[in-house]
Every structure is written in structure tokens, then in C-alpha cells.
Structure 1
């Protein structure tokens, strides 16, 4: 009886800890391309003007538009439907096409392409969804349109196996609020982005002190794992491997990028304490692997 009472007292704490750790893993996984490369933050800095067209619009247009408006609301970005304008194809910066069921690959029923001149600000986006899959794809692809590019394993519409497809989940809202918060700027590295995502998640937890301890532990573990990855020994997140779309070239590029990202993290004190020695070490490794950006930052870092 005593053991049962103890379990009853402890279980809410354990439940929050598990929920927070899963949330942190999920938000880390969204910062990875399926190819095996970590990404920088990109987002909209203008209104979204969307054109929805294609087959069976009577069934799919309203659901698709609502998904885009829901993500826009969380992000603070206005979504304007221009589909009925005669010049829609010219004025829209987001195009959504509902395609016949015989289009797209069987294992990729929907897809979004983000267009940007530099990996900072989204200039336009194009989404395609198969007719029979449009309903279950709408919120998933709407998140991608907002710049959240990964396919994590957690409780989010971005998962390959979401528990909900007709609306945003709590973690989706947390990610969007953080992604478009004033603390973010386009082009930020994963280690600059991660603390902002983590703080938004901490704020959603009932026991924030315990969540902050879990956050700090997650930061330490992730840095250790990514140093191993950048050194050529560690691996990409398991969900990236499970996608079957990672490539040797993507992972090689990912190791170079991660070396650069670690250098910037130590240079700026993002996710880790500032450490100029470690910053130079990782920037030098990235430069040796071919990163011109790292070469430029290395010169600035050593000149300090």
C-alpha cells in the first residue's frame, strides 16, 4: 500500500519529466533535414498570400486554408487567400496545389518546397498534396510552410505518425510561438535556436524549476552527442535514419555544418558557456572540412 501511495505521489513528477524530455527531443529533431544535415532557422517576414488550386477544391480548400491560418495565428503572420483573384498566380507567395492521386510518390503523398535567396528569410513556398491525402497532410505541410522543416518522432503534426491530423497539437503551438518570437532571427544556428525553443517549452510546464533542470541536462547531453557527430563518430538522430532519406553526402555535409555550429555556439555562449578555445577548435575543423563561412568566422574569432 505504501509503495502504491508513493507511486501516486511521484508519478505526476515523472510524467512531466518524460513529457518535457520528449518535447525537447522533438524540437531538436525539427532542426534536421531528412538528408542528415542540421538546419538554420528560416521564417516569414511578410504576409502570406496563398493561392489554392487543383482538383476537388470543394472538399479541400477550406481545410487547407484553415490549417495555414491556424499556423499563421500562432506565428503572428497574416494569411490572405488570393485564390479568386485573376492575378492570383502572380501575387501569391504560397501556392498550394491539390494534385490527382496518381501524382507524387507513394511514400511522399505531400511535399513543400521553401524558396529563399539566403537561408534566413522565406521568399515563397510551393505545396503539393494528393487528393486522397490532402486532409491528413494539411497541418503537416502548413508547419513546413512556416519554416519548421524537420520530421520529428514526438507529439506533433510533423511526425510521420501523428496522433491528430485535423488541428495543431500543443507542442506545435509551442514551436511556432518560439520560432516567431522576437528573440529569433533568420539564419540562427540550431544551438542559437534551441534555448529559445526550450524556454517556450519550460513556460508551458507546471513545474518550471524541474523543467529547467531537465533543459540544462538535455543541453549537456546534446552538446556531447553533437561533438561526437562532428568528429565523425556519432550519428544523426534516430528519426532521421528511420526516414530512409539520409545520404552519405548529406551526413558528411552535416558533420561540417555541425562543426561550424559548435564553433558559433562556443563563440557566442549559445546553449554552452562561452569558450574561445573550443570556438576556434570547432571553427578550424569546419574550415578544414571546406566551410567558407567557418573560414571567415575563424579569422574574426582569432583576431579578437
Structure 2
């Protein structure tokens, strides 16, 4: 199928009444929730760019890969409203670039991870720089996937997104990817937000795409999804029930990562109840979860707990 036909089909799936059906809408919400998890098994805070991106693409076989790589980066930066400048040909490119993309020989990196992105930030709020490596034979299918990571979207969710694990070429952002980026870089969102603070903004983008006649229904679905997510995350934080499927599916979770995930989730639940984010504000529940996180060793929770007394 040609690129234009494929994109049109996916867009129709998002905008048509069929998307408003419970399964389609909930799948979208599930995808949005899963982007807020790191492969190690820990939920993450939101990080994003607050400065222009100066990109250097270098390495092997640039004639085959540079244009496609830049197209992917321009697509995500454009959706986010971040200025991007290609500095690859400058003599001082290595010094001035804050996004470095290396196309490596095929013998480098591992078969189970042929491309990787490293984000650098002093605090988990604002991205200072990013470094990407992609094997030459995998660069085409990796470009849009890694470009999303460069923008700070770190998860590997299921669903119709270039962030999902995939075996074939990807030639453009999908509707869910665009929705993520719009929400991630919207004025209502700020760097350092917890997953429960970000989730409503992500959900709002999906609701905005639904037909007007279905908005009340999908809003009810959203509210039920929020309640179910809060309940399941409370179980996860307390060590009850199943580990979230996103953690199992990553294949890279560790006992230490899951332990940290439970601590972080306890803190995030405390903030959710304190701020009324994804759930109704409840100071008693806020203190309960912040105390649990503090007991597990979260210094951030200890500090935040002091402010609630």
C-alpha cells in the first residue's frame, strides 16, 4: 500500500465513528498511558525540549540515510513546535549540536536493540541534549521510532504508533504519535509532570479527535479508564496483583527497576491525590501515598510530604 493510502486509512480510523467505540478509544488511552513507562519497569516524569534542536547526522552510508533521518526529526519537531536546525555540514558540528545521530556499521549494536537513544537532562524536566545510534541496515525503520524518543517520549507502547515494536519500514508519524506530541508540548503541560498529571492532557487529544456526537460517551470511557488505572496502579504500588503488562512486555525490566517503579508509583499516586490529577483530590489519600513513598526511600516524597503538613 502506498504511503498516502496507508496514512489516510489510519487517519480515518481515528476520526471515524468507529474510533469512538469503546475498544478503539480504550486502546488509544492504553497506548497513551504506556508511553509514560520506561523499559526498565518504572513510570517516568515528562521531559521535553525548551530550546531549539541543532542536529548533526554522521556516520556510514549517509547518502542513504541522512535525508530520511532528518525528515523524521523535522516531523516530530514540527508537531511539537520546536525549531530544528541541521548543523551536520558545519565544521564545528560536533561542538554545537545538541542532537547527535550516528549511523553505525551493521556489526555494531545488538540484534535485539539495533537503535538506541540517550537523553541527557540535569533534572527530569528539560532535555539538554540527545544522542542516537542506528545501525545502517536498520536506520530506515528506526528513524521515526527514535525521533519520538528524542522528543522525550520514552515508552514502547502497544497500539498504532511508531513507538511500538515493529519489524518493517516506517515512513511517517501515525495519528497517535501526532496526538502524543501535541499533548506533550501543549501549554497545559510542563516538564517534570508525573504520569497522572500528563494522562489527562493525552486523553484530551483523543477526545478532540472523536466526532462531536460521541464526545459525551468517550468522556465516560475516559473517566472509567482513569478510575481503573488508579485502582490497578495502587495495587502495583503495594505489590498486589499483576505487574503492568507494559513492564512484562518490555523484556528489559529488572527486580530493581520494578522496586523503583513501586516507589515512584507511590509518590505519583500521592501527587495525583494532592493535585486532583486523574482522580478527585483527597488530602488523606495524598498523605497516605506520600508516606508510603517516603518510607520506601523517596526523598522527593519526603520533601513533598513536609509541605502537606
Partner of 2:12: none
Equivalent residue pairs, number: 292
Q: How does 1:55-204 map to 2 (within 5 A)?
A: 55-161=60-166, 165-204=170-209
- Alignment check: 8 A CA contact 2:48 2:151 kept: yes
Quickly say closer, same or farther: Cα 1:178–1:99, change in 2 above 3 A.
same
- Tell me, in whole angstroms, the C-alpha distance in 2 between the residues paired with 1:28 and 1:12: 22
Quickly say closer, same or farther: Cα 1:124–1:255, change in 2 above 3 A.
same
Partner of 1:218: 225
The equivalent position to 1:21 in structure 2, one of 3, 21, 26, is 26
Unaligned runs of 5+ in 1: 1-10
- Tell me, in whole angstroms, the C-alpha distance in 2 between the residues paired with 1:13 and 1:146: 30
The equivalent position to 2:52 in structure 1, one of 47, 59, 65, is 47
- Tell me, in whole angstroms, the C-alpha distance in 1 between the residues paired with 2:160 and 2:168: 7
Per-residue displacement from partner, 1:38-90 (whole Å, max 9, x unpaired)?
00000000000000000000000000000000001100001110000000000
Q: How does 1:269-288 map to 2 (within 5 A)?
A: 269-288=276-295
- Alignment check: 8 A CA contact 1:226 1:234 kept: no
Q: Please report the TM-score for the alignment, with normalisation by the length of structure 1.
A: 0.94
Partner of 1:229: 236
Provide the secondary structure at the position in 2 that maps to 1:49: strand
Provide the secondary structure at the position in 2 that maps to 1:215: helix
Partner of 1:265: 272
How big is the shift at 1:19?
1.5
- Tell me, in whole angstroms, the C-alpha distance in 2 between the residues paired with 1:80 and 1:248: 41
Quickly say closer, same or farther: Cα 1:164–1:237, change in 2 above 3 A.
farther
- Alignment check: 8 A CA contact 1:156 1:162 kept: no
Partner of 2:257: 250
Unaligned runs of 5+ in 2: 1-15
How big is the shift at 1:12?
4.9
Partner of 2:306: 299
Partner of 2:8: none
- Tell me, in whole angstroms, the C-alpha distance in 1 between the residues paired with 2:268 and 2:38: 15
Provide the secondary structure at the position in 1 that maps to 2:21: helix
How big is the shift at 1:210?
1.3
